[in-house]
């Protein structure tokens, strides 16, 4: 996940950044035999700290990685349009992760809301 404040001009390139991070994370999952155990440990740690409020997530045997961009709520339409233009271009270039990329707005309280205008 790549998180950007609402006025950051780098919002435009956030889809590419999120895809790079997703690829790195996916490479780790594929090559580290302890990756599943590490992730399960992180879930348990958050559970003990009461950071997981709902049902405890269950990891699949082969977890997948989805690139996500979260921009602070109130981002300008110009920056939003640029972000979606970059995502569309990456998709058109055959970058598989670009079509999977999810875009959210993040509130000051940390809630993720689907971004309107996802094209």
Distance from the Cα of residue 7 to its chain's centroid? 19
User: How many residues belong to the chain?
Assistant: 119
Residues 60-119: tens digit of each pLDDT: 888 889 999 999 999 999 999 999 999 999 999 999 999 999 999 999 888 899 986 544
Using DSSP's 3-state secondary structure scheme, residue 5 falls into coil
Strand order in the sheet with 112-114: 2-4, 68-72, 102-106, 112-114
pTM of the model: 0.84
Tokens of 100: 């999977």
Tokens of 33: 């035999």
Count Cα neighbours of 61 within 13 Å in the Cβ-side half-sphere: 0
Give CA–CA dist 17/68, Å, rounded: 10
CB-neighbour burial class of residue 33 (10 A; exposed 0-12, middle 13-18, buried 19+): exposed
What is the predicted pLDDT for the residue at 117?
54
Residues 16-63: tens digit of each pLDDT: 999 999 999 999 999 999 999 999 999 999 999 988 877 878 888 888
């Amino acid at each position: 996940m790549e998180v950007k404040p609402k006025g950051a001009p780098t919002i435009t390139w956030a889809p590419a950044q999120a895809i790079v991070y997703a690829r790195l994370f996916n490479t780790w999952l594929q090559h580290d035999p302890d990756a599943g155990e590490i992730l399960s440990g992180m879930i348990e740690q958050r559970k003990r700290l009461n950071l997981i409020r709902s049902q405890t997530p269950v990891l699949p045997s082969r977890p997948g990685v989805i690139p996500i961009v979260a921009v602070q709520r109130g981002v300008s339409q110009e920056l939003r349009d640029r972000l979606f233009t970059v995502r569309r271009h990456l998709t058109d270039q055959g970058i598989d992760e670009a079509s999977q990329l999810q875009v959210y707005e993040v509130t000051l309280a940390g809630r993720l809301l689907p971004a309107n205008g996802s094209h």
